[in-house]
Amino acid sequence: TYEWSEDVQSTLKNVFHIESFRPKQLGAINSTLSGQHAIVVMPTGAGKSLCYQLPALVKPGLTVVVSPLISLMEDQVRSLTNRSIPAKLITSSSSKEETSAALNVLKDSKTQVKLIYVTPERFAKSKRFMANLQKCYADGRLQRIAIDEVHCCSQWGHDFRPDYKYLGILSNMFPNVPILGLTATATASVLTDVQKILNIPGCLVIKSTFNRPNLFYKILEKPTSQEECVTILEKLLKGRYKGESGIIYTNSIKDSEDISEGLRKRGLRVGCYHANLDAATRSQVHLKWHDKRYQAIVATVAFGMGIDKSDVRFVIHHTISKSMENYYQESGRAGRDGLRAECVTMYRMQDIFKVSTMVFSSVGSLEHLYGMVKYCLNGTLCRRLLIAEHFDETWGDADCNKMCDVCCHPHSNTKEVNLKPHCKTL
Ligand code: ADP
Ligand code: MG
Ligand code: ZN
C-alpha cells in the first residue's frame, strides 16, 4: 500500500461511485501517483480516463489533459461536472470568456479546478497558454500531464495527428511532472515511437489484455452483387439474429443507404446512420435502435462515439475495416454485457482496392490494411490468436474455446483456405 491508497479507494467509491477497479487500472494509478512516466494500453471502453481522473483528485494541483477530439473533451468535462468535479476545457471552439477563465485557472493558486482539457495545438500555437502553464509549473501546481490517444504522436499509428509532435517538449520543459499516455494501440513499433517522440524512452508500459472471450469471430464469403449481400444480411437478421440488436458497418454513405433501403424493402426494421445526416436525425436513429424499435443500424464508421448499448449481439462488417485497430474497435462494440456476441466480416478481394484508395493518409496505412486482409484470408489459425498477435499479446495457454470459425470447424476446406473462408453456414 501507498500513502495515497486509502484516498484512492474512497475517491473511487464516493466520487466515481465505482465498486472496484478493472484490471490494470490500479497499477496505472499507483505508478503515475508515484511520479513515473507511463503509457497505459487498454482496449477502448476499458476505462482509461479513470487512470488520470482519479489521481487528479487525490493529489493537490492541476492535471492537464491533452485530447484530440473536441466532442470527447466536452463529454468528459460534462460527466466530471455531473460528479461535482470542477474541470475546464480550452479548444478552438471555446468562447473568449471560456478560454480566459480556463487560462486564469492555470495562474490561480486558489482555484478549485482539478483538470484542464486542451487540444494539442495549444502547446505550439498559444503563447499565452504556454506562459500560464509555465507559471502553474513554477508555482509547483502542475501535478500531471495526461495525453489521451497518445498513438496520435506516431506516424506508424493509424491516426497520426501532426499537432501531437509538439508534445515532445513537455518532458524537458516540466521535469518531474509525470506524463501519462493512454491509448488502445498496442503494437510495439508504435509504442517505441511514442516514447521517442515524447522523450520518455523506456517508460513504464502498462497493458491489459485485448482478448474478448465472449466474442465469436467469423468471416463470410462476400458475393459480388449488392443484392446478394442484402440477401445474406436478410437471412442473418431474420434467422440467427432474430430479435437481437446489432450494427452493420459499411464503408461508404451510399452503401449504408442502399443496404438499409434493401433490408427495409424486405420487411426488416433497420436505421441508417452516417455523417451526412443532421444531428437530430442521427440521434433519433440512435435512440430507435437503443429502444429496439430498430433491430440494426446500417452505418458508416461515423457511428461509434457514444454507443452505450451493452446488449449488441452482432456487429457485421459489410466491408473490411482499414486496419486491425479499427476492426477491433468497431467489432468490440458487440457483447459489452459479457454475453456471447458475434463479429462477422464479409470479405471479398475487390474490397481491398476499394478500401486502399481511402487509406493513404498516413505512412503505415497500407501495412495496416494488409493486417486486416491477412486476418480475413487466414483459414488455418485461430482468429483470436491473430488478433492477439496483432496487439503484441502473448497468447500462451489462453484458449479460444471454439469462439472463432476456424477453431469451430478446424477441418473444413484446409486446402482452399486462401480463397474460401470458413463457416459458410449462416
Ligand atoms: P476508454 O477511454 O478506455 O475507452 P473510458 O475511460 O471512456 O474508456 O471508460 C468507459 C466506461 O467505463 C465509462 O463509462 C467509465 O465510467 C466506465 N468505467 C471505468 N472504470 C470502471 C470500473 N472500474 N468499473 C466500472 N465502470 C468503469
Ligand atoms: Mg478514452
Ligand atoms: Zn479460435
Q: What is the pLDDT of residues 375-392, one digit of tens each?
A: 999 989 999 999 998 888
SS3 157: coil
pLDDT surpasses 90 at 31: yes
d(CA 393, CA 398) in angstroms, rounded, equals: 11
| Among 217, 204, 290, 207, residue whose Cα is nearest residue 247 | 290
| Among 256, 274, 251, residue whose Cα is nearest residue 350 | 251
Which residue has the CA at smallest separation from atom 23 of ligand 1?
Answer: 21
Measured distance between the N- and C-terminal CA atoms of the chain, rounded to whole angstroms: 52
CA of 393 to the centre of ligand 2 (A): 21
User: pLDDT value at position 306?
Assistant: 77
Name the phi and psi angles at 118, rounded to 5.
Answer: -135, 155
Residue found by looking up cell 486462401 in the block: 418
CA 315 vs. chain centroid, Å, equals 16
What H or E segment, with its residue span, contains residue 80?
helix 70-82
User: pLDDT value at position 152?
Assistant: 93
pLDDT surpasses 90 at 236: yes
* Percent of the chain surpassing pLDDT 70: 94
**Mean pLDDT to the nearest integer, 336-345:** 96
**Mean pLDDT to the nearest integer, 134-160:** 93
Contact 336, 310 (CB under 8 A): yes
Grid coordinates representing 154 are 506516431
Closest ligand 1 atom number to CA of residue 25? 23
d(CA 67, CA 192) in angstroms, rounded, equals: 20
More confident residue, 159 or 85: 85
CA 350 vs. chain centroid, Å, equals 27
**Mean pLDDT to the nearest integer, 34-43:** 96
Q: What is the pLDDT of residues 62-99, one digit of tens each?
A: 999 999 989 889 999 999 999 999 999 998 888 999 99
The residues lining ligand 1, judged by C-beta closer than 6 Å to any ligand atom, are 18, 21-22, 25, 42, 44-50
Q: What is the pLDDT of residues 117-133, one digit of tens each?
A: 999 999 988 999 999 99
Grid coordinates representing 187 are 503494437
Grid coordinates representing 135 are 507559471
> Rounded to whole angstroms, what are the CA distances from 256 to 118, 247, 252, 337?
34, 11, 6, 27
Confidence of residue 422 (pLDDT cuts 50, 70, 90): very low
Confidence of residue 413 (pLDDT cuts 50, 70, 90): very low
Which residue has the CA at smallest separation from atom 12 of ligand 1?
Answer: 47
Average pLDDT, the chain: 91
Please state, as a whole number, how many other Cβ atoms lie within 10 Å of the Cβ of residue 320. Answer: 25
CA of 324 to the centre of ligand 3 (A): 16
pLDDT surpasses 80 at 405: yes
Closest ligand 1 atom number to CA of residue 48? 3
Name the phi and psi angles at 270, rounded to 5.
Answer: -135, 150
Please state, as a whole number, how many other Cβ atoms lie within 10 Å of the Cβ of residue 391. Answer: 21
Confidence of residue 42 (pLDDT cuts 50, 70, 90): very high
Closest ligand 1 atom number to CA of residue 12? 23
**Mean pLDDT to the nearest integer, 224-248:** 97
Contact 260, 270 (CB under 8 A): yes
Which residue has the CA at smallest separation from atom 17 of ligand 1?
Answer: 47
d(CA 191, CA 209) in angstroms, rounded, equals: 16
Rg of the chain on CA atoms, in Å = 23
User: pLDDT value at position 416?
Assistant: 38
> Rounded to whole angstroms, what are the CA distances from 318 to 223, 267, 325, 391, 413?
10, 19, 17, 24, 23
User: pLDDT value at position 396?
Assistant: 63
Please state, as a whole number, how many other Cβ atoms lie within 10 Å of the Cβ of residue 63. Answer: 24
| Among 129, 65, 78, residue whose Cα is nearest residue 100 | 129
User: pLDDT value at position 397?
Assistant: 56
Which amino acid belongs to residue 198? L
d(CA 115, CA 84) in angstroms, rounded, equals: 12
Burial category of 183 from C-beta neighbours within 10 Å (exposed 0-12, middle 13-18, buried 19 and up): buried
User: pLDDT value at position 415?
Assistant: 39
User: pLDDT value at position 94?
Assistant: 87
- Measured N-to-C along each axis, helices 324-331 and 383-390 cross at an angle, to the nearest 10 degrees, of 120
106-115, 306-315, 359-368, 385-394: range with lowest mean pLDDT:
359-368
CA of 4 to the centre of ligand 2 (A): 24
**Mean pLDDT to the nearest integer, 249-275:** 97
Which residue has the CA at smallest separation from atom 9 of ligand 1?
Answer: 47
User: pLDDT value at position 317?
Assistant: 98
Please calculate the CA angle 323-295-306 and round it to the nearest 5 degrees.
Answer: 50
Please state, as a whole number, how many other Cβ atoms lie within 10 Å of the Cβ of residue 254. Answer: 12
**Mean pLDDT to the nearest integer, 209-221:** 94
Contact 241, 311 (CB under 8 A): no
Q: What is the pLDDT of residues 240-257, one digit of tens each?
A: 999 999 999 999 999 999
| Among 252, 251, 262, residue whose Cα is nearest residue 226 | 262
* Percent of the chain surpassing pLDDT 90: 78
Q: What is the pLDDT of residues 180-213, one digit of tens each?
A: 999 998 888 899 999 999 999 999 999 999 999 9
pLDDT surpasses 60 at 362: no
pLDDT surpasses 90 at 423: no
